[in-house]
Chain A
Amino acid sequence: MSRAVWLTWKMHRFEVIAGVLLIGLLAISAWIMTGHITSLGLSDACWPRDADGNYATNACDSLMNDFYSITSSEGGFVRIGLALVAPIVGLILGVPIVARELELRTTSFAWSLQASRSHWLASRALPMLLVAMVAFVVLGIMGSMFFDTLAVGRQGAALTEVASGGAALVARGLMAVGVALLVGALTGRTMPAFIIAAIVVVAWSVMGVTMIQAQLSHGWAVWTPSNDDSWQTGQLGYIAYVDHGNFDTTKPGEDGQPGARFDFDTLDREAIATCGNAPDDDSGESAEFRAWADCADPIYQRGNDAGWNLTVPASRYGDYVAVDTLASLLVGGLAILLTFPVVARRRPS
């Protein structure tokens, strides 16, 4: 095994150095940002905000300004890095494992020295997978620490950042390794394999994951009144928004809905019956129009006050992470397993 590790290092040292360097730089950056934010000394005592948006004390206002200053500049770059670097490094490490030897036409000789091609593939892939795993675990830990620190300022990770820390980051990175390994074995050339695998990984990360999350959101969403005070408390009430509706809770609604859908035509008729037709004034500034609006607004307000949002509670965030981790591991694992029959059947050049 140590001989296989040494050989892999000798063959793919550029990719290993580039990958480890990228991960190392980002992990150190995330660690430094975590330290910066922690050193601000923000505490729960700064919340809630008053109606004007001020924090509990003037000192808190200043601390939150510093917090936003960090998170909107260097902290923002770290967030982008945490979302992108693991899949990129996965591609860099995964593509050349089989593709390079096929491209250089050394596989026919290498395969003749091994009892089975599967054994050869395992000896080539395992050291790279090990390097990738260690690098992703380190980055995953740093990512989790970074996002835990953001919670001090009541900022959480968005749904697009489920794979920016912890186990989900490791899984997303390994998925990229698996896809890159398979595409490399199929194409037999490194650069084309890198481009194709990058397209597949981007498609999965952007479209595939979004579609899965949309399905989950529809299943997990619950109706809640839209007049929440989360902007004052800083406690985000929901993680995903699905729909909005106005409901009359005094009447029975359809399955899962808090009441019957508000009938705005009824309000229109009531407004016309009570206040007459709206004056023809697009600017809305004439005295006649204002008098009509003063009469009709309370009627329409009843409908507006009955606003509800169909949202997924923030407490469900961990479930999204778990599903993302499992889905990435499934795709990556499947791609790695498929590489074995591809290598077993393909021509050596």
Chain B
Amino acid sequence: MSGRAAWLTIKMHRFEVLIAVALLALMGVSAWVVAAHMNAVTVGPECWSQWEGSVGRLNACQQAVERWLDINEHESGQLTGFMGLLPAAVGVVLGVPIVARELELRTVSFAWSLQGIRWRWLLSRLWPLLVIAIVGGVLVGFATTELRSARLVSPFEADSMGDIARQGPVLLTRVLIGFGIGLLAGSLVGRTLPAFLVAGLLVAAWIMFAGPTIERSAALSHVSYATDEALSGGGVIGYASVRPLDWLGEAYREP
């Protein structure tokens, strides 16, 4: 696990490293800039209760709310949308080529013959890219936490289950899930492009189906009936109709 091994790994995978670092920087800087935009709009507490919709003439107080909501809908909304998929995609880009490329180029037999144990070779190839993924994921996680704090200034905004994996430490786990699945797919398939496609499919399936199912199962242990006031006044992170005939549904409440 020397610096020489790290240098060799980064040299071999410099395209993937460049793409991953560029995407992570783009996500982190964007989240930070959008949070700064939102924080720069000063909205007094009394303004939120005065705002009734973007119709008619607005006074200065309501214009501030309008401006804040505009940033929240367009800049923050679009960024949050990208955060659903991009962190995991960065993980896949970093994870896939680690083993797959050397298998594909058939340089492993030589590389393995130089190392006493294969898992040591794997570790030496793995850790530089893993460090990039973790450091990048942590930084983007911090930036998105700032964005979350800026959003929660508004009484109209509340944490929702759909956004759990798009911010903070859970975002880092998305990077690591993509990295792990990419690494495994690359090792099994032994070719970069097919492994990239397979890993992409698996990660997409995780994000769209498995992740939400697990979050929902975890939330079910905290479920309780909530009044309409509780639903509209915060303190609720998810809402679902558990029984088909229960049109009002049941609310998930923070423990």
Contact = CB atoms under 8 A, between A and B. Distances in A.
Interface of A: 14-15, 18, 92, 95-96, 100, 103-105, 189-192, 194-195, 282, 284
B194 interface: yes
B193 A191 contact: yes
A27 to B, nearest CB: 19
Given A103-B105, A104-B104, A18 B16 contact: no
Nearest to B106: A104
Given A103-B104, A103-B105, A191-B97, A18 B19 contact: no
Nearest to B192: A191
B105 A104 contact: yes
Nearest to A17: B194
B194 A15 contact: yes
Contact of A95 (B15, B59, B96, B193): B193
Mostly, the B contact residues are: helix
B57 interface: yes
Nearest to A192: B15
Interface string B178-202: 0000000000000111101100000
Interface in B117-146: none
B104 A18 contact: no
Given A194-B193, A282-B56, A284-B56, 13 more contacts: A14-B191, A18-B194, A95-B193, A96-B193, A100-B193, A104-B104, A104-B105, A105-B105, A191-B15, A191-B16, A191-B97, A192-B19, A195-B93
B167 to A, nearest CB: 25
A14 B97 CA distance: 17
Q: Which 7 A-B pairs have the closest CB atoms?
A: A190-B193, A191-B192, A192-B15, A14-B194, A191-B196, A191-B193, A190-B192
Contacts of B96: 191
Contacts, number: 40
- Chain B interface size band reads 10 to 19
A93 to B, nearest CB: 11
A282 B193 contact: no
B85 to A, nearest CB: 13
Contacts of A105: 105
Contacts of A191: 15-16, 93, 96-97, 192-193, 196
Interface in B156-212: 191-194, 196-197
A18 B197 CA distance: 9
A292 B86 CA distance: 55
Contacts of A14: 191, 194
B120 to A, nearest CB: 25
19 contacts: A14-B191, A15-B193, A15-B194, A18-B194, A18-B197, A95-B193, A100-B193, A103-B104, A104-B105, A105-B105, A189-B15, A191-B16, A191-B93, A191-B96, A191-B97, A192-B15, A192-B19, A194-B193, A195-B19
A194 B196 contact: yes
B125 to A, nearest CB: 16
A284 B97 CA distance: 65
Interface in B26-58: 56-57
A18 B198 CA distance: 10
Contacts of A95: 193
Nearest to B14: A192
A14 B194 CA distance: 7
Contacts of B56: 282, 284
A189 B59 CA distance: 58
Nearest to A96: B193
A282 B51 CA distance: 12
Interface in B71-104: 93, 96-97, 104
Contacts of B93: 191, 195
Contacts of B191: 14, 190
Contacts of A104: 104-105
Given A191-B16, A195-B19, A92 B197 contact: yes
A297 to B, nearest CB: 15
A292 to B, nearest CB: 15
A195 B196 CA distance: 10
B244 to A, nearest CB: 15
A67 B26 CA distance: 42
B44 to A, nearest CB: 17
Contacts of A284: 56
Contacts of B105: 103-105
A105 B104 CA distance: 11
Contacts of A192: 15-16, 19
B15 A282 contact: no
B143 to A, nearest CB: 23
A103 B104 CA distance: 9
Contacts of A18: 194, 197
Nearest to A99: B193
A191 B12 CA distance: 13
Contacts of B193: 15, 92, 95-96, 100, 190-191, 194
A195 B192 CA distance: 12
Nearest to A191: B192
Nearest to B58: A282
A8 to B, nearest CB: 15
Contacts of B16: 191-192
Nearest to B193: A190
Nearest to A193: B193
A309 to B, nearest CB: 21
A195 B19 CA distance: 9
A346 to B, nearest CB: 17
